[in-house]
Amino acid sequence: MKILLKNARVISPSQGLDEVIDLLIVDGKIEKLGDIEETKDFQVYDMSGKIISPGFIDMHVHLREPGFEHKETIETGIEAGANGGFTGLCCMPNTEPPMDEPSVVEYVKKRASKSLDGMIEVYPIGAVTKKREGRELAPIAELVEAGVVGFSDDGNPVQDSGVMRKAFEYISMFDRVIIQHCEDKTLTQNGMANEGYWSTLLGLPPYPDISEEIILYRDLRLIQYLKPKIKKVKYHIAHISSKSSIELLRKFKNEGLNITAEVTPHHLLLTDEDIWRSSYDTNLKVNPPLKSREDIESLVEALKDGTIDVIATDHAPHAPEEKEADFASAPFGIIGLETAVGLILSEFVNKGVISIHRMIELFAVNPRKILGLPQVKIAEGEIANLTLLDPNSEWIVDAKKFKSKSRNSPFIGWKLKGKPLGVINKGKVYWSDL
């Protein structure tokens, strides 16, 4: 297959590349960059006004399979990722059974290889502890051999400090990142909304934001304490959400610790007040909960100055009947694979909050750095692993166009400017239907 992309703005921050050129792909590899004359055996696409970047990776996705196929399957999650502009997905281990054994990792990889002909790469995240119970380390070496790129107990943070120390010491031997959901669960039992004015007005059990800060501080101090002994600890904060956590992250980063963080689009755009405005829309029930306008301002500043390294979705599909329950009964979580790129283009790039280069770093460059994956190069002879963007397309988020099995998104009906156009990887093209 010969694909010619004409007049595209090709941006690759890790290469210092930003140029309007033609790009020819032959049998999955970049054959030529430059001024290319069309021939009749090329599939030609006019990319005038469009952007080509290294393929985007979502570092935080729940594909639900095995165990919760009524919410999402590996196949539907992969297609949602492609539709949303991602060529890579990191799937979290809170499946049933959890990804605490090599056999489960191998199952996920095998299923992923059969979805969309394997064009979307799925990177499993292994459990830190057996059954994600926080008591005994999972078989770390065997999980690494099976192909996990990192470790997390996801929604079950490792509460025991002794176990967390062992995790740092052991996982660092394999140069893998630990991804922590920071929540002191002794403080958040039954919590549903950020503790403050709006949780009181709503009559919802409070979820204090200090619970995130306490676990984060514990972990950072452990890393600091272990630093003379362990040089390779890699620690990543999932869905950071509060001003106080940002202040901690900034402080310890400045001390030279190898720590990184991600933020979700919903924590950048929505507040706890929106639960009131929406009359208890269960699609606003997330963990960590939506915070205040002041927290959002701190997150945005950290996004701009480099304190935050990654934008990830925390794509958490649920069946319609689960989210159609009352607020107290509904599960935490929203989907995000098919809205994230459009939201960031529309609300941050096109409004001048961050540059398109910074966006590509957050979605494509930094995830690969953190996960220890090779950077995608847009150069002759390299595999074409690309995300295609249309920064000027105006559209309305329409659930009917989602490929995800679930529809639990608070962004349905939003009018956006900028969207994913498609992805190219492994010699295959997927055009977005959004």
Catalytic residues, by residue number, are 314
- State CA 70 to chain mean position distance: 22
Instruction: Say if residues 406 and 320 touch (Cβ distance below 8 Å).
Output: yes
Helix (H) or strand (E) holding 186: helix 185-188
CA distances for 414 relative to 261, 273, 397, 399, 408, angstroms:
27, 18, 6, 11, 14
Return all residues near 4 (Cβ < 8 A) that are at least 6 apart. Answer: 22, 23, 24, 25, 36, 38, 42, 43, 44, 45
Question: β-strands 428-431, 415-425: how paired?
Answer: antiparallel
CA–CA–CA angle 333, 237, 243 (5° rounding): 85
Backbone angles phi, psi at 5, to 5 degrees: -100, 110
Q: How far apart are CA 33 and CA 123, in angstroms?
A: 30
Closest alpha carbon to 152 in 173, 123, 169, 129: 129
**Separation CA 61–CA 99 (nearest Å):** 14
Euclidean distance between CA atoms 304 and 289, whole angstroms: 22
d(CA 138, CA 99): 9
